[in-house]
Amino acid sequence: MLLPQLPKEIMERISRGGYECYLVGGCVRDLLMSRQPVDYDFVTDRKPEQIISAALEAGWKVRKYGEAFGIIHIVIGKEKFEVASMRTENYGKDPHRPETVTFVGDLYQDLARRDFTMNAVAMDKDGRLIDPFGGIDDIRNGVIRCIGSPKNRFLEDPLRILRASRFVVQTGFDLEETIPTAMSDPDIQQRFRDLSVERVRDEFEKILLAPKPSPGLKLLIDTGVLGLSCSAKEGDKKIRVDFLPEIMQLNGVPQNPRYHRYDVLTHIFRTVDEAPPVHILRWAALLHDVAKGRPGVRTLNKRGELSDRGHHLVGAEMAQRILGRLKVPRRYVQRIVWLIKNHRNLPPADHQGLIRWAFKRSRDFPNRQEFMEAAQQLFLLGRADDASKGRETSSFYFHFLLSQFPKIASGLTFYPYELKISGDDIVKKTGAGPIVGKILNSLLTDVQKGKIMNTPEALRAAVQKKAGKDGRKDK
């Protein structure tokens, strides 16, 4: 099998002097599946200090932050590669890291400590494969199988139960039948509670960003994993943090059949699949109907049919809390919450109605770029939501929004800084002070209502009138 030049060069350099160096893990799996690897990881019988020496001799930079576990990061140009010493590991109470690491210089022992057979295939610099656990056959047969007992593998690091779900949606493979049982094992789920919320969130987001996340999400529902808790630090204390029990609670919750063919959870999973694989959109899709069926939200409409009036508002508040406890970065949370809050407030399909909607919603953002990005995301979320109800879709409507809104918005004035007049121009007429901002906002309103044109001449004339009304003289 042909290898890219840089990984091959690393193996040749690290293996000089009678040492061994192999590609391992996901990159080999991806190459066997004819996929482009995201990154390249290596193992060698060199000790960490010997890896560093070989890298420095080659003129490469090194990062030592994994050195205690035998991991060295080599930086070549803008690319980073992980090179690890062959090792065995023994896990204790802490599921985040091994209690002891022993450098063994033996490829078989190193491969034996890994989670799944498909990740335990190695490749040498000439493209030859080493496969002691049948990983190649499992890849060909589309099966995810643990090395040894699934329970033992998951007890070592319970994050592997999320990895199992991730590999289901990333590869399309089936789990070997004993793996879901192990995922539900009380001992493993108890140990899961000691995982940090950051590790859990990061692994879960990889599931969310897969081409079709729903099979992995369903697996986490069926095994009860989403109902578990994990750990977070609050000052010097360690606290319990719920994973996603709110999603678990949506399983089987019915909806109004007039508008929905599916229950809430099925609809949500379909919406996640339909949404583009973008971090913000997938989170918004997962949580957009999270408040449905809850007391205070679930009611009956005038026809006596199921209704969840105001679920978008309650759902936005719930999403704020959920994303906060899972430590999703604030820069994402604000946008996700806005999308959930507004997914029931899409614009009308007529030109003037769309303009009025745009003027109102633009006030939620500090600048045009953020508003335009958010509006497009809202329309994409709305399209995914609509396509997942199991009823006739409004494809033309969303095509209109996505294609025409940018054109319409390009001719609109949303913010004072877009006016063809500056604050300095107004100061010349009114003097400095709060009146300048007041007049700018008044001008913006008049432009948006069509009372004046957004031209320097028209705006200067309007300032002249407004300055007179405020009793100020020309300077």
Distance of alpha carbon 82 from alpha carbon 55, whole angstroms: 12
Q: What is the amino acid identity at position 179?
A: I
Q: Quick one: pLDDT band at residue 473, thresholds 50, 70, 90?
A: very low
Residue 228 CB partners (closer than 8 Å, separation 6+): 189, 192, 193, 243
Is pLDDT of 56 > 90?
yes
pTM above 0.85, yes or no: yes
Is pLDDT of 96 > 80?
no
* Secondary structure E strands in 284-329: 298-300, 306-308
Per-residue exposure over 377-405, b if at least 16 CB sit within 10 Å of its own CB, e if not: bbbbbbbbbbbbbeeeebeebbebbeeeb
Q: What's the pLDDT score for residue 449?
A: 94
Is pLDDT of 471 > 60?
no
Is pLDDT of 212 > 50?
yes
Distance of alpha carbon 7 from alpha carbon 74, whole angstroms: 11
In this predicted model, which residue has the larger pLDDT, 466 or 286? 286
How do residues 145-168 score in pLDDT, each as one tens digit? Answer: 999 999 999 999 999 999 999 999
DSSP for 154-176 reads HHH-TTHHHHHHHHHHHH-PEEP
Is pLDDT of 370 > 70?
yes
Could you tell me the two tokens for 228? 């578990």
How do residues 376-402 score in pLDDT, each as one tens digit? Answer: 999 999 999 999 999 888 889 999 999
Q: What's the pLDDT score for residue 296?
A: 94
In this predicted model, which residue has the larger pLDDT, 464 or 413? 413
Mean pLDDT taken over the chain: 94
Q: What's the pLDDT score for residue 475?
A: 40
Is pLDDT of 16 > 70?
yes
What is the torsional sign of CA 369, 374, 380, 382? negative
Distance of alpha carbon 227 from alpha carbon 219, whole angstroms: 12
Query: What share of the chain has pLDDT > 70, as a percent?
Result: 98
Is pLDDT of 90 > 90?
no
For the segment 112-139, the average pLDDT, to the nearest whole number, is 96
